[in-house]
Amino acid sequence: MRDSKITLDDTRERDRLARAGDGRDIRNTDGDSAELGHPRSLAALPPRARTFYREHMPTPTGTVARISPTEVELAISRVIAAEVDDVWASVTESDRTAAWIGPWSGEARPGATIQLTMVLEEGGPVVDVRIDACDEPYHVAFTMDSFALELRLFPLDSGTELILTHTLDDPALASAYGPGWEYYLDALVASREGTPLPRFEDYDPSMTPYYAALAAGL
């Protein structure tokens, strides 16, 4: 995993290094937007700037694979240095999920629907999440916004691997959902480490081309 500890000085340095020698802003932005993104070409940056971006900007890691003639699966994983029971608590207990995606209410059991308040989204919308299956502390399947998702946890010598999968009926949707799940899983890691939450502007739109390319190959 990359180091998620980006300080204010790092942010200022990223702003400075994102400019070409003639003062042009070469980040992947539109117009005068202040959003930060991956530079359009790392080769266009001086060596120090290239190193900084590789060390501090989030890098997409997900995969997209066809699982049926009409469906593809988006999968993103993180390795967390903790026991599987502790990671399970981070993704299922309301007071723990509140720190990285939002708290939930309702009866959490297979066949039931809980209400998740997505506090990091604009307006903090409340969405219904139906729990389809659960095998504590290794697997939970759920439906959200009509999409099937799963979380699987695998114990490792170094901690726990968490894999999120999202089933899509259109490969093109990977570019819409991939950056968001990368962001939320990094927010999960940050919440556990006690570091600042990531900025969504560092994930979307800069990661969109990565997922669009994966989808185009299917």
**100 and 180 co-located in one domain:** yes
Phi, psi angles (nearest 5°) of residue 107: -95, 115
Neighbours of 149 (CB within 10 A): 19
85 and 92 Cβ atoms separated by less than 8 Å: no
Instruction: Check residue 186 and give its pLDDT.
Output: 97
What tens digit of pLDDT does each residue of 140-193 get? Answer: 999 999 999 999 999 999 999 999 999 999 999 999 999 999 999 999 999 999
User: Is 1 within a domain?
Assistant: no
Q: Which of 204, 147, 217, 142 is nearest to 175 (CA)?
A: 204
Instruction: Check residue 47 and give its pLDDT.
Output: 77
CATH number at residue 82: 3.30.530.20
Cis, peptide link before residue 137, omega less than 30° from 0: yes
Q: What integer is the mean pLDDT of 108-133?
A: 97
User: Is 14 within a domain?
Assistant: yes
What tens digit of pLDDT does each residue of 102-118 get? Answer: 999 999 999 999 999 99
At 47, list the tokens. Answer: 């060596």
Q: Residues 189, 195, 201, 202: is their CA dihedral positive or negative?
A: negative
Which one has a higher pLDDT value, 53 or 138?
138
Instruction: Check residue 42 and give its pLDDT.
Output: 55
Instruction: Check residue 43 and give its pLDDT.
Output: 59
Neighbours of 68 (CB within 10 A): 9
The 3-class SS string of 146-162 reads: CEEEEEEEEEECCEEEE
Residue 20 has pLDDT above 50, yes or no: no
**33 and 72 co-located in one domain:** no
pTM value surpassing 0.85:
no
User: Is 2 within a domain?
Assistant: no
Supply the mean pLDDT for the chain: 84
**211 and 181 co-located in one domain:** yes
How is the beta sheet containing 63-68 ordered, strand by strand?
63-68, 71-80, 159-168, 147-156, 139-144, 126-135, 113-117, 104-105
**20 and 46 co-located in one domain:** yes
Q: 34: which residues sit within 8 A by CB, 6+ positions away?
A: none
Which one has a higher pLDDT value, 154 or 8?
154
Instruction: Check residue 57 and give its pLDDT.
Output: 78
Instruction: Check residue 147 and give its pLDDT.
Output: 97
DSSP designation for 167: E
User: Is 3 within a domain?
Assistant: no
**164 and 97 co-located in one domain:** yes
pLDDT more than 90, % of the chain? 73
Domain that holds residue 29: 8-56
User: Is 71 within a domain?
Assistant: yes
203 and 179 Cβ atoms separated by less than 8 Å: yes
Q: What integer is the mean pLDDT of 90-95?
A: 98
Instruction: Check residue 36 and give its pLDDT.
Output: 36
Instruction: Check residue 48 and give its pLDDT.
Output: 75
CA-based max dimension of the chain: 60
Give CA–CA dist 82/175, Å, rounded: 30
**71 and 178 co-located in one domain:** yes
Domain count of the chain?
2
What tens digit of pLDDT does each residue of 21-53 get? Answer: 333 333 343 333 333 344 444 556 677 766 766
**37 and 140 co-located in one domain:** no
User: Is 52 within a domain?
Assistant: yes
**158 and 100 co-located in one domain:** yes
Residue 100 has pLDDT above 90, yes or no: yes
DSSP designation for 98: T
Confidence of residue 101 (pLDDT cuts 50, 70, 90): very high
**67 and 50 co-located in one domain:** no
